[in-house]
Amino acid sequence: MTRQGFKGNKASLPSKPCLVCGLTMTWRKSWAKNWESVRYCSEACRKRRASAAAATGGGS
């Protein structure tokens, strides 16, 4: 039995920048249900954003 992978053009997948580091994030199947709410490229960026907001006394 063979594993079925992505057979389309990966260049056509949606992408957006990470709010913390600016790295371009490309759509992943695991993000399909919540792509609109994905903001950070990694757990490290998510934590860095939270600590920066706490240090400045606010957050959005």
In Å, the largest CA–CA distance within the chain is 55
pLDDT truncated to tens, each residue of the chain (60 aa)? 555 666 777 778 899 999 999 999 999 989 889 999 999 999 999 999 877 776 666 655
Answer whether 0.85 is exceeded by the pTM.
Answer: no
Secondary structure (DSSP) of the chain:
-PPP---S-GGGS-EEE-TTT-PEEEP-GGGGGGGGG---SSHHHHHHHHHHHHHHT---
